[in-house]
Amino acid sequence: MDNVDLQVLRQVQRWQAEGHRVVLGTITRTWGSAPRPVGSLVGVRGDGQITGSVSGGCIEDDLIARVREGALAASRPFCVRYGVNGDEAARFGLPCGGTIELVLEPVTPATGIAELLAALAQGQRVTRRLSMASGEATLESAGRNDELSFDGQTLVSTHGPSWRLVVIGAGQMTQYLADMARALDYQVIVCDPREEYADSFAVPGCTLVRTMPDDTLVELRLDAHTAVVALTHDPKLDDLALLEALRSPAFYVGAIGSRVNQAKRRARLSEHFDLTEAELDRLHGPVGIRIGARTPPEIAVSILAELTAVRYGWHVPEPSRVAGTAPEPSAGCVV
């Protein structure tokens, strides 16, 4: 789920707790071009305050006007469409004659927003089923590929992280990487069998496992929505994890270390584990985009920047240094 939409749910819950009348809108279908994807959320308070967005602003303005006029004071969910013709599309700022369909639901205790947020706070991925007839919502565990669906009677939406990040090693850098990745809506799983590191790891919303990395990755059944980053500097842990990750469908596999260490790692993986050249070429090392990062939070930024680029199919070219700047670190992890 988009982290922006998570903020919408939190604001909606606060408004509800304060006693305000609130309407929650969910994009259920789009035709043509649309500013926001299916599943995006918007919340409108009874006095016209708004959180989130479903368009460039024109639809939100119309929703605010409807709320203030009492037109959205229904007791049950209902469906509306914007941009069903060219004139209306232009009026609501929808490009290329686009159309947006929204389900609008009055927020009540039966909608279960508090329960949904509690599940999301635990890093869970859940499916919410909203009955259009009663306005009641139920929650259940979601599969990896569940998508939003709406048949006119039931709105089925999936919430929670749709991308996973598995980090090998629970050291200081992982603290920063895990925290930032949570902000980008990753489900974060940290694996470290070493007590001296695992015992002190604490990032809210992350899962810590203490099994051996290769066993952990096999159990997790890595898919194309999963990234694996090895950060221990210990070949006994990192190499075993990389062996499983490079043979899996994981969309990103990276390992910390200098270019010299990466060359040694590649030789080990090739010699002892019979990885092919194509599998070895999938390894991002040194991990992260080359930005001269030195500190743990800087390296975490560079790693997440590279994950983002790979997710969206972008190639980041090798950067060049600016003349007259400070010299590069001689043995950094990202150089």
Show the tokens assigned to 135: 């306005």
Task: For 275-319, write each residue's pLDDT tens digit.
Answer: 889 999 999 989 999 998 999 999 999 999 999 999 988 888 888
| Residue 190 located in a structural domain | yes
More confident residue, 54 or 98: 54
Residues 164-173, mean pLDDT to the nearest whole number: 95
CATH of residue 220: 3.40.50.720
Give the mean model confidence (pLDDT) for residues 220-228: 90
With a pLDDT cut of 70, the percent of the chain lying above it is 87
Domain assignment present for residue 324? The answer is no
Number of compact structural domains in the chain: 2
Phi, psi values for residue 174, rounded to 5°: -65, -35
pLDDT given for residue 60 in this prediction: 84
Where a domain ends, among 159, 182, 215?
159
Model pLDDT, residue 334:
46
Q: How confident is the model at residue 63 (pLDDT cuts 50, 70, 90)?
A: confident
Q: Is the per-residue pLDDT at 332 higher than 80? A: no
* 10 and 155 in a common domain: yes
Helix, strand or coil for residue 245? helix
Q: Are residues 227 and 304 in the same domain?
A: yes
The answer to whether residue 334 is domain-embedded is no
Residue 325 lies in a domain: no
pLDDT at 326 > cutoff 70: no
Residue 60: Cβ-neighbour burial (10 angstroms; 0-12, 13-18, 19+): buried
For residue 331, being part of any structural domain is answered with: no
Other Cβ atoms closer than 10 A to 17: 10
**Do 240 and 294 share a structural domain?**
yes
pLDDT (mean) for 26-33: 82
| 188/91 same-domain check | no
- The answer to whether residues 71 and 112 belong to one domain is yes
**212, pLDDT greater than 60:** yes
Residues contacting 49, CB < 8 A, separation 6+ = 15
Predicted local distance difference test score (pLDDT) of residue 335 = 40
Among 5-14, 76-85, 131-140, the minimum mean pLDDT is found in 76-85
Give the pLDDT confidence of 126-156 residue by residue, as tens digits: 899 999 999 999 999 887 566 799 999 999 9
Query: Measuring CA to CA, which residue among 265, 267, 319, 264 is closest to residue 288?
Result: 319
User: Which residues span the domain enclosing 69?
Assistant: 3-159
- For the chain, the average pLDDT equals 86
Model pLDDT, residue 90: 54
Concatenated DSSP letters of 13-50: HHHHHTT--EEEEEEEEEES--SS-TT-EEEEETTS-E
Q: Is residue 319 included in any domain, yes or no?
A: no
Instruction: Supply the pLDDT for residue 302.
Output: 96
pLDDT surpassing 80 at residue 93: no
Asked if pLDDT for residue 89 goes beyond 60, the answer is no
For residues 129 and 181, membership in a common domain is answered with: no
Q: Is residue 335 part of a domain?
A: no
Q: Are residues 190 and 114 part of one domain? A: no
Q: What predicted TM-score, i.e. pTM, was given to this entire model?
A: 0.64
Query: Same domain, yes or no, for 151 and 266?
Result: no
Are 279 and 204 contained in the same domain? yes
E-strand spans in 132-255?
Answer: 137-141, 149-150, 154-159, 163-168, 186-191, 207-209, 226-230, 252-255
> What pLDDT score does 312 carry?
86
Is position 327 within any domain? no
Q: How confident is the model at residue 2 (pLDDT cuts 50, 70, 90)?
A: low
On the question of pLDDT at 206 being above 50, the answer is: yes
Same domain, 123 and 200: no
pLDDT of residue 140: 92
Residues in the chain: 335
Are both 127 and 189 inside the same structural domain? no
Q: Is the pLDDT of residue 120 over 80?
A: yes
Same domain for 34 and 98: yes
Output the pLDDT for position 145: 61
